[in-house]
A and B are shown apart, each in its own frame.
Chain A
Amino acid sequence: DGGITQSPKYLFRKEGQNVTLSCEQNLNHDAMYWYRQDPGQGLRLIYYSQIVNDFQKGDIAEGYSVSREKKESFPLTVTSAQKNPTAFYLCASSTSGEGGMNGYTFGSGTRLTVV
């Protein structure tokens, strides 16, 4: 079955450490996204990519980095510059194209905690 897989499910980061969250999809979607969810604040866009080897900053990109070397993969690195990284991180994908869209498919998320 096609889907989008995030790993790990839970991740603990020490102060000053970089960590990378994995996101892989086999839906043949061109576009991929990273969102962060904090309690009571909804989803906020970190980075998105419409096509391989191209990505754009979202609303809260500071302290994060991404790459899009393959269509299927869009890993997110949370760097030590991100001062408050504890959150639920969601990866999503969608078909891309002008006009309307069919919505996102989300991965099951990674819960990151700073220890």
Chain B
Amino acid sequence: RKEVEQDPGPFNVPEGATVAFNCTYSNSASQSFFWYRQDCRKEPKLLMSVYSSGNEDGRFTAQLNRASQYISLLIRDSKLSDSATYLCAVKPSGGYNKLIFGAGTRLAVHP
């Protein structure tokens, strides 16, 4: 089993739709969680950290479910510009600040 797993998609949604992605992780002691956005042939860029109580940034909401060991990303009112690959990243327990990334979920928003 991979340490961090994501549904690769693609998720094809119309503009204005709400879409949600999940990311499961295997290490129950994982400490920090992130969502990154990666455009085609570009570097990943930090979209948002994921906090235990859940957090929101505009149209984006991130949540953590420690009991079931997954994090989620909800995008409301999808825009064409949201089309990208969304990577989740998890910091396992331990002193090293290294992240383990999922393979990414591709989102395609169409008119």
Contacts and interface: CB of A to CB of B under 8 A. Distances in A.
Contacts of B41: 88, 111
Interface stretch (A11-19, A37-45, A61-69, A79-87): A37-45
Interface string A86-97: 001010001111
A74 interface: no
B23 to A, nearest CB: 11
Residue among A33, A97, A106 facing the most chain B CB atoms (10 A cut-off): A106
- What's the interface size class on A, roughly? 20 to 34
Interface in B12-66: 31-32, 34, 36, 41-46, 49
B97 A40 contact: no
A2 interface: no
Contacts, number: 59
A42 B103 contact: yes
B4 to A, nearest CB: 8
Residue among A42, A48, A56, A111 facing the most chain B CB atoms (10 A cut-off): A42
A98 interface: yes
Contacts of B97: 31, 50, 94-97, 101
Contact of B95 (A35, A98, A106): A98
A107 B45 CA distance: 10
Interface string B65-92: 0000000000000000000000101010
Interface of A: 31, 33, 35, 40-43, 45, 48, 50, 56, 58, 88, 90, 94-109, 111
10 contacts: A31-B97, A40-B103, A41-B103, A88-B41, A100-B31, A101-B97, A103-B32, A103-B49, A107-B43, A108-B43
